Amino acid sequence: MRQNSGERPLHRTRIADRWLVPGSEPSVWELIDDPIGALVRQRDAIEVADVLAAVNAARSGLTRGETRTCPMM
């Protein structure tokens, strides 16, 4: 790993690092587009439409104010 002038390691920023911050979860579409998610859906014989139906069912059970905290699709 490269070192900077302060002798502290420079870490590569990974895409997933942005999800380590509380309240910054990936969107539904980011999860759907994720290659690992696609493999899990394939293994479990789940279509994207099934995922979206589940998200919509969950959203319909939330109160109006709670829907603002749900990641956008």
Q: Which residues of the chain have pLDDT under 70?
A: 1-13, 15-16, 19, 63-73
Q: Does residue 36 lie within any of the structural domains?
A: yes
Token pair of 52 as six digits: 């979206």
Q: Does residue 37 lie within any of the structural domains?
A: yes
| Calpha distance 34→5 (Å, rounded) | 36
| Calpha distance 39→42 (Å, rounded) | 5
The 10s digit of each residue's pLDDT in 61-73 is 876 665 555 555 5
Q: Does residue 50 lie within any of the structural domains?
A: yes
Q: Does residue 9 lie within any of the structural domains?
A: no
Q: Does residue 47 lie within any of the structural domains?
A: yes
pLDDT of residue 47: 96
**Domain span holding position 33:** 25-69
Q: Does residue 57 lie within any of the structural domains?
A: yes
Number of domains in the chain: 1
pTM for the whole thing?
0.54
| Calpha distance 32→51 (Å, rounded) | 8
Q: Give bridge partners of residue 9 from the DSSP assignment.
A: 3
Helix (H/G/I), strand (E/B), else coil: 3? strand
Q: Does residue 16 lie within any of the structural domains?
A: no
Q: Does residue 4 lie within any of the structural domains?
A: no
pLDDT of residue 12: 56
